[in-house]
A and B are shown apart, each in its own frame.
Chain A
Amino acid sequence: MTTVATDAPVSVAGQSRLRMAQVLFGAALCLALAKGLLPDAMIRLPEAWVLPFADWFNAVFNFMRDDLGLVHVTRAFADGLDWFLDVTANLLYGKNRWPRIGPIPWSVIAVTAAIVGYALNGWRLAALSGLTFVWIAVMGQWQWAMETLSVILIAAPVSVLLGLVMGTLAWRSARFRAVLNPLLNVAQSLPHFAYMIPVVVFVGVGPKAGAIVTIIFSVPPMIRMTLLGLQKVPTEVIEAGQMAAATPWQLLRHVRLPTARTEILVGVNQVIMQCLAMVVLASFIGMPGLGQKLLQLLQALKIGRSFEIGITIVLLAVMLDRCSKAWAMKQPVHMEKGTPWAVRHRLLLIWVFATVVLWGLSLIFPLLHEIGRREALSLADPLDVAMDWIIATLDPVTQWLRWFLIVWVLIPLRDGMLWLPVSAVLVFLMAVGWAVGGRRSALICLAYFGLIALSGWWDRAMITVYTVTFSVFIATLIGFPLGIWGSRSDRRAKTVLLVCDTLQTFPSFIYLIPVIMLFGVNDVAVVGAVVLFAAVPLIRYTIEGLRGVPDAQIEAADMSGATRKQTLWSVRLPLALPTIMVGVNQSVMFSLFMVIIAAFIGTQDLGQEMQRALSSSDVGKGMVLGLAVAFMGLMVDHLVTVWATRRRKALGLG
């Protein structure tokens, strides 16, 4: 009885929702078809309606910077940070600053990394960590890599600390949480460049600006993970602490934070990865290091050399990711009673010994201290030869593909998108919103895109929309079958997930190298990079969704005599769909980020305008463009979340 009673209104609501959506779809279609009859104001907003958001932002920023004197605060903070940056810079690559010990010989750093790797997760991680540094040194990239690392070494801890404090505050105060949450949502969907412009205005350019933009960019995940960790501490552990008569402060310090250790360390992992991604991109605001080198080489189309740097960045990313993940997963283990001190601290002793020996040796053999440009190996020449051969071989294919995509797909699609009247797009989005989540969602969609229309960047935004839509579509065509294939056996799933994991640790910049190599500098390369980047989460969530279907359902299907194909289509996919949609959501987010980054190889969308705003330090324009991108992401996020939540509930998956 009760199920009937609760089901009935839901389906009635569902039906009326769909009917309304159909009406709106019809209206959108009419608006598009009747474009010739529409008044101009419904095709593009008239100039007079465009709101000067950029000027308003500029006014606010100028007020904060000059009238409130915030610029002095930020500069002071930056100078404080600079002191720390100088310390790591001295240690890692011998910048002439206090404590004037460095540069530490590369061999010592490599051994240190290997021992840390061993302590965290045994031989394999030790080999990865150690060899990464050996590679960097041998390939003659030590200076650049250390410039990059010296910033991460400061930015990551600062960001972790900030995240811990803010996460704890958010946990303590519901009001703070309510304010913080939407801010974090926007912050996590703002493209990288949007962060850079205000930093340039408030701090300037160079390593400290790079460090600050890195810190700002990497704090949000730490806040979220801290909050999550603190909320997840089991009630009984807290009650046990209370019964042990801990004061609130003791409870936080001795009970809550240590019990949330795993989540907090997962946050640390995310901070480190975000730092790496940002520090590479910060080359756009004068941050020296691997990113800058890569940017220069890519712009000069030196494929072999940029490939080498790409490998270095990838190795660093994978190493940092594995190490910090191993740290998060590491559980304490006790030592047998009566284990002597030397055995308990075996690794420490080995490290001290190795450091002393290698440092001594490096004084005798300078090659262990530093490998100069002349002694360094380079794979660039053979790589270039190989690349040239590959490119030449593939050339007919890539040429044709490029011609076909540009002439028959990309240009018509873009022109179609630009042809659509604003009013038709807005009504269409409302229809989608209504179909998914009723009036509220429809209004949210309208608000996000309405604001973009009011900002006056509609045409640029439509180009971004078309690139992202098309790329995600292609990514789905690739990722979905791959995901289904990957989910077929445990072993395959494990392998594919590992590959996806590894690919996801790469900074987005890296994805540009192979596509530029194959397609040159044009729209196809952009789409290629976006597709590569966006397919990864799709594959991943498809596998996770399909593997996550409860065994009982599969067994029931098997016992009903379903073939594998039937099971896939009638049982696995419907149950996995909510999870897969989360993948689509992430895929859209990734595409948006990538499209904007790809701007520097020549696009005509919001990203290119953002680059211009960056080079002219136009904070207002940068913020407006950044928010326009964020709003697209947030709209998709809203739709997918609403849909997936309702679907999960309907399927009884919690």
Chain B
Amino acid sequence: MTDQKPVISCRNVWKMFGPQPEAYLAGLDPAASFEAIRADGYVPAVRNVSLDIAKGEMLVIMGLSGSGKSTLVRCMSRLLDITGGAIEVEGHVIGDLSERQLIDLRRNKMGMVFQSFGLLPHRTVLDNVAFPLEMRGQDIHARRARAMEVIELVGLGGREDYFPRELSGGQQQRVGIARSLAIEPDIWFLDEPFSALDPLIRREMQDEFLRLQEMLGKTIVFITHDFDEALRLADRIAIMKDGAVEQIDRPDRIVMEPATPYVAKFTEEIEKARVVHASALAGPVNGLSLSGDAVDGSKTISQLARLLVNDERSILPVAGPDGGVIGALDKQRALDVLFGEAQ
């Protein structure tokens, strides 16, 4: 993480559905339980959430359906107005923006991808992708040229005259992705973009997505209910339950040190060796005498399995991205992780 100001910053955000949410929230004990609020006839879709998202970071918000993750991301893009707290995007409190300012923000900074694509059925691929540009009044040649660029980028070149109905699910989502990228947003919201696709296509789209992200380096908020997907993509994961964030951390740490029993239940079935990186498992050097070749800290334990089993050293040096030694890996601990005996 960088030490720059966060791009998105949520402070004690509440989103309450019910007859008079503001008044109810004002008189509410912040520690009130989910069930107590439900019993009063209100639904706390987002409950006292505070988090920061740094520039260029990919935060994956994970939770089961009804956990409030989609609501939270709609609060960040102000598709929904929040009930309490504040959300700042690039230093602006978005709750205070006028309609005009909000439209400007969306026209220049934000893009969003939807679970069931949200394409306009009567427009061709090209016109769908150019839609946000049309809305901001770009002239037809400029917007078509730009739309073609993004269509090529997502690998749909040659299909620009098709209608959404004529495309497969995966292709339709590529159109959705292209549309969200058309205005070159800095912040990219993806609401379960691959959930409606079948597993093989999902995998392919994840790879495609990682390729795009490597190229574009945007700030990303990615929603999913699929823990494997979260582990694959995330810089950090926020796990939500009943509207509250249970834990927000790097994938390794969520797996190795779940903060609550709920998170622990999630991670139980995960093959930890495939998630945990050598650098995360390494302890401080602390004057230990390290010898021999260092292992690459960015590799997962499972990638290092053969080496770990064959190596005779009990403690191995771990190298950072620049090649310098950053820590010491206790082989026994690594093997415990590998064979699923780690605590």
* B163 engages A334 (CB within 8 Å): yes
* A236 engages B115 (CB within 8 Å): yes
Chain B residues with Cβ below 8 Å from A337 are 158, 161
* A245 engages B132 (CB within 8 Å): yes
Cross-chain contact of A244 among B106, B117, B163, B166 (Cβ < 8 A): B106
Cross-chain contact of A239 among B118, B120, B122, B123 (Cβ < 8 A): B118
Binds B, one of A213-221, A251-259, A358-366: A251-259
* A242 engages B162 (CB within 8 Å): no
A335 to B161 alpha-carbon distance, docked (Å)? 7
* B103 engages A240 (CB within 8 Å): no
Interface residues of A, count at CB 8 A? 25
A56 to B326 alpha-carbon distance, docked (Å)? 95
* A239 engages B114 (CB within 8 Å): yes
Tally of A-B Cβ pairs under 8 angstroms: 84
* A243 engages B115 (CB within 8 Å): no
Tell me, rounded to whole Å, the shortest Cβ–Cβ distance linking B101 to chain A.
Answer: 11
Contact with A along B83-94 (1 / 0, CB 8 A): 000000000000
Name the CB-closest residue of A to B161: A334
Chain B residues with Cβ below 8 Å from A250 are 135
* A261 engages B103 (CB within 8 Å): no
**Is A332 engaged at the interface, CB distance under 8 Å to the other chain?**
yes
A243 to B120 alpha-carbon distance, docked (Å)? 13
A86 to B134 alpha-carbon distance, docked (Å)? 41
* A255 engages B112 (CB within 8 Å): no
**Is B302 engaged at the interface, CB distance under 8 Å to the other chain?**
no
Name the CB-closest residue of B to A238: B118
**Is A247 engaged at the interface, CB distance under 8 Å to the other chain?**
yes
Chain B residues with Cβ below 8 Å from A238 are 118
**Is B171 engaged at the interface, CB distance under 8 Å to the other chain?**
no
**Is A26 engaged at the interface, CB distance under 8 Å to the other chain?**
no
Chain B residues with Cβ below 8 Å from A261 are 121-122
* B165 engages A244 (CB within 8 Å): no
* B165 engages A259 (CB within 8 Å): no
Interface residues of B, count at CB 8 A? 36
Tell me, rounded to whole Å, the shortest Cβ–Cβ distance linking A591 to chain B.
Answer: 40
Interface of A: prevailing SS = helix
Chain B residues with Cβ below 8 Å from A258 are 120-123
Contact with A along B108-144 (1 / 0, CB 8 A): 0011101111111111100000011011100000000
**Is B15 engaged at the interface, CB distance under 8 Å to the other chain?**
no
**Is A1 engaged at the interface, CB distance under 8 Å to the other chain?**
no
Tell me, rounded to whole Å, the shortest Cβ–Cβ distance linking B62 to chain A.
Answer: 20
* A240 engages B112 (CB within 8 Å): yes
Contact with A along B162-181 (1 / 0, CB 8 A): 11011000000000100110
**Is B333 engaged at the interface, CB distance under 8 Å to the other chain?**
no
Chain B residues with Cβ below 8 Å from A405 are none
Name the CB-closest residue of A to B107: A245
Chain B residues with Cβ below 8 Å from A331 are 121, 163, 165
Name the CB-closest residue of A to B180: A243
Given A258-B122, A333-B163, decide whether A243 and B79 contact each other with a Cβ distance below 8 A.
yes
Tell me, rounded to whole Å, the shortest Cβ–Cβ distance linking A330 to chain B.
Answer: 11
* B124 engages A245 (CB within 8 Å): no
Name the CB-closest residue of B to A332: B163
Chain B residues with Cβ below 8 Å from A245 are 103-104, 106-107, 132, 135-136
**Is B74 engaged at the interface, CB distance under 8 Å to the other chain?**
yes
Contact with A along B274-291 (1 / 0, CB 8 A): 000000000000000000
Name the CB-closest residue of A to B108: A245
Cross-chain contact of A243 among B112, B124, B134, B158 (Cβ < 8 A): B112
* B158 engages A244 (CB within 8 Å): no
Chain B residues with Cβ below 8 Å from A162 are none
Chain A residues with Cβ below 8 Å from B107 are 245
* A259 engages B122 (CB within 8 Å): yes
Name the CB-closest residue of B to A235: B118
Tell me, rounded to whole Å, the shortest Cβ–Cβ distance linking B304 to chain A.
Answer: 42
A242 to B189 alpha-carbon distance, docked (Å)? 13
Tell me, rounded to whole Å, the shortest Cβ–Cβ distance linking A318 to chain B.
Answer: 28
**Is A104 engaged at the interface, CB distance under 8 Å to the other chain?**
no
Given A332-B163, A337-B161, decide whether A242 and B118 contact each other with a Cβ distance below 8 A.
no
**Is B300 engaged at the interface, CB distance under 8 Å to the other chain?**
no
Name the CB-closest residue of A to B112: A243
Name the CB-closest residue of A to B127: A254
A616 to B135 alpha-carbon distance, docked (Å)? 58
* B116 engages A236 (CB within 8 Å): yes
**Is A234 engaged at the interface, CB distance under 8 Å to the other chain?**
yes
**Is A101 engaged at the interface, CB distance under 8 Å to the other chain?**
no
Name the CB-closest residue of B to A242: B79
**Is A42 engaged at the interface, CB distance under 8 Å to the other chain?**
no
Chain A residues with Cβ below 8 Å from B74 are 239
Chain A residues with Cβ below 8 Å from B112 are 239-240, 243
Cross-chain contact of A236 among B117, B121, B166 (Cβ < 8 A): B117
Cross-chain contact of B166 among A234, A246, A255, A334 (Cβ < 8 A): A334
* B119 engages A237 (CB within 8 Å): yes
Chain A residues with Cβ below 8 Å from B131 are 241, 244, 254
Given A245-B103, A245-B136, A333-B163, decide whether A240 and B119 contact each other with a Cβ distance below 8 A.
yes
* B114 engages A236 (CB within 8 Å): yes
Name the CB-closest residue of A to B133: A244
**Is B224 engaged at the interface, CB distance under 8 Å to the other chain?**
no
Q: Restricting to A306-340, which residues have a CB under 8 Å from any CB of B?
A: 331-335, 337
A335 to B77 alpha-carbon distance, docked (Å)? 37
* B136 engages A234 (CB within 8 Å): no
A243 to B166 alpha-carbon distance, docked (Å)? 24
Tell me, rounded to whole Å, the shortest Cβ–Cβ distance linking B71 to chain A.
Answer: 12
A245 to B158 alpha-carbon distance, docked (Å)? 27
Name the CB-closest residue of A to B121: A259
Chain B residues with Cβ below 8 Å from A242 are 79, 106
Tell me, rounded to whole Å, the shortest Cβ–Cβ distance linking B278 to chain A.
Answer: 40
Tell me, rounded to whole Å, the shortest Cβ–Cβ distance linking A446 to chain B.
Answer: 34
Further pairs besides A236-B116, A245-B136, A258-B121: 18, Cβ < 8 Å: A236-B117, A237-B120, A239-B114, A240-B112, A240-B179, A243-B79, A243-B132, A243-B189, A244-B132, A244-B179, A245-B104, A245-B107, A254-B120, A261-B121, A261-B122, A331-B121, A332-B124, A334-B124
Q: List 11 A-B contacts (CB under 8 A).
A: A234-B118, A236-B115, A236-B116, A239-B79, A240-B118, A242-B79, A243-B77, A254-B131, A261-B121, A332-B124, A333-B166
Counting from the closest, the 6 A-B pairs by CB-CB distance are A240-B118, A244-B132, A236-B118, A245-B106, A245-B107, A334-B161
Interface residues of chain B, those whose CB is within 8 Å of chain A, are 74, 77, 79, 103-104, 106-107, 110-112, 114-124, 131-132, 134-136, 158, 161-163, 165-166, 176, 179-180, 189
